Structure 1
Amino acid sequence: MRYSLFFIMLYSIVVSAQGVNDSIKTGNLNEIKELNELIEKWPTADNFYYRGYSYFAIKDYQNALSDYNKAIAIDSTDFKYFFSRGKLKDEIKDYRGAVSDYTTCIALNKISYKAYYSRAFSKSNYVDLYGAIEDYSKCIEINPDCGPAYLNRGIIKAQKQLHEEAIKDFDKALSLNVSFIETMKNRAISKALLNRKDAIDDFNAVVQSDQKNGEGYYNRALHIINFKLKQDYCSDLKKANQLGFIPAKKLLNQYCKL
């Protein structure tokens, strides 16, 4: 029997590339109107860029992309133009296009950990997993305190069945206070797949930290069943079912008296 979800993969934790980078401020139509007037007088690369940035903030991706393209056509040497266009392409799931833009960012600034992190995120989304590991590693080399890079690299290593290495990355992510529940959940599964007895401690920690997460109860129940531990898995399955985690109902019928 398999776990409900072997690996949890990050626009939310990764906090995605956007989560590690500078925050996007809230855009508004008045701001765009002001930029329209500026562009009529001064159609500079920066003015197109900032209007594109404002469009991006209100999720008008078509106009944002058009303005980023115009900014780059005027000035193809500014890191932030390519970086922001890469983020936009991530949002519209043009991951290969995003990789291309982040590659240009790296050519313009070889020590930008954000560019390596973001390119790794994009690569992982079109299943260039080894390339993603390399980029997360480069990100970590430049900035050893980039916690999300350890979490995401660990997730990919676990996908490649490199569980010992994955656990080391999860340990580091936890030491940097990165997304406790997601990190602990993934570490628990890697430990379980290595038949480590302390996996149960991580499953317990997930449940204790988020008692409204049905999947946490479900995964702990699966671990107890799989490893024939002398613990009450039926209570976990009932709780998972009550919390609306649909797969729990089947196991309840199979293993427990209702």
Structure 2
Amino acid sequence: MKNVLPIIVTFLLSLSANAQNLLAISPELITENSMVKAEKTTVAKTSLKAADYKNLVKEYSATLKTNPKDADTYYKRGEAYRALKDYKEAIADYNVTIKFNPTNTTAIYNRGLSRMHLGDFRGAYGDLSKVVKSNPNDKEAYYNRALCRMNMDNARGAISDFNMVLKLDPNDTEAYYNRGIMKFETSDNKGACADWNKIAEKDPRAVRALKKYCK
């Protein structure tokens, strides 16, 4: 089962007023990568307290003083920083990890999530694009890239990514709802209403959208 990290996404003012109203009742989700192999799971996947993460940062920092080329420890410290919501430091450590191992898609993915938290949607888009190129079946990467495209005023690109999410998981309610918003934004009202209608029994937001925009 995937883990999700709630975040209110700042959407561009160029979206229509109606689309902004729909988004206002739809707090987006940055989706954590559930496809990470067990051996790549790190401290950020646990339920440690903030004090524990701070201690881990100290431990990892001490290790790096004696072994400054330990890419795995940089990655683990980056995960600890991300758990503490210190996204700038997390990105710095992911950068080092990726420098040592450019094919570490887990670090690239998590750097993308951290960039999203900081509002760097173009940077996050670049990271997530690398992930889906490496793994075309990574649903979470497509979903988060769609959110980036929504914030980059690229509704059609977002629709394309939501299409991939739904191809991989036809039951993803969030993808249907948000694809509906983007279809509405591109004046495809019929398509938007069709998406919301598919999830109306599961999602009260879709019911409200149908009543207001699909009469």
TM-score, normalised via structure 1 length = 0.64
Shift of 1:138: 1.0
- Show structure 2 runs of 5+ residues with no match: 1-16, 35-43
Question: Which residue does 1:47 correspond to in 2?
Answer: 73
Question: Which residue does 2:61 correspond to in 1?
Answer: 36
> 1:242-253 alignment to 2 at 5 Å?
none
Question: Which residue does 2:104 correspond to in 1?
Answer: 78
Residues 98 and 119 of structure 1 are in contact (CA less than 8 Å); yes or no, is this contact kept in structure 2? yes
Question: Which residue does 1:92 correspond to in 2?
Answer: 118
* 1:172-225, Cα deviation, whole Å (9 max, x unpaired): 3335x3xx333322222221xxxx2xxxxxxxxxxxxxxxxxxxxxxxxxxxxx
> For the aligned residues, what is the CA RMSD?
2.3
Partners of 1:60 and 1:11 in 2: how far apart? Answer: 27
1:129 maps to 2:155: yes
Shift of 1:21: 4.3
1:9 maps to 2:34: no
* 1:41-87, Cα deviation, whole Å (9 max, x unpaired): 44432221121111112121221111011111011112211111111
User: Residue 118 of structure 1 aligns to a residue in which SS?
Assistant: helix
User: Residue 207 of structure 2 aligns to a residue in which SS?
Assistant: helix
Question: Which residue does 1:69 correspond to in 2?
Answer: 95
Question: Which residue does 1:186 correspond to in 2?
Answer: 209
1:117 maps to 2:130: no
Partners of 1:91 and 1:11 in 2: how far apart? Answer: 19
User: Residue 17 of structure 1 aligns to a residue in which SS?
Assistant: strand
Q: Closer, same or farther in 2 for the Cα pair 1:85/1:173, shift >3 Å? A: farther
Q: Closer, same or farther in 2 for the Cα pair 1:54/1:92, shift >3 Å? A: same
Once the two structures are overlaid, the 10-residue window that deviates more, 36-45 or 57-66, is 36-45
> 1:207-246 alignment to 2 at 5 Å?
none
Partners of 1:151 and 1:12 in 2: how far apart? Answer: 9
* Identity among equivalent pairs (%): 27
TM-score, normalised via structure 2 length = 0.76
Partners of 1:182 and 1:74 in 2: how far apart? Answer: 45
Partners of 1:144 and 1:182 in 2: how far apart? Answer: 19
Shift of 1:152: 0.7
> 1:171-182 alignment to 2 at 5 Å?
171-175=197-201, 177=202, 180-182=203-205
Question: Which residue does 1:199 correspond to in 2?
Answer: none
- Show structure 1 runs of 5+ residues with no match: 197-258
Give, as a single letter, the amino acid of the residue that structure 2 aligns with 1:165.
Answer: G
Shift of 1:11: 10
Partners of 1:140 and 1:35 in 2: how far apart? Answer: 39
In the TM superposition, structure 1's runs of 4+ consecutive aligned residues that sit over 6 Å from their partners are none
Partners of 1:67 and 1:60 in 2: how far apart? Answer: 11
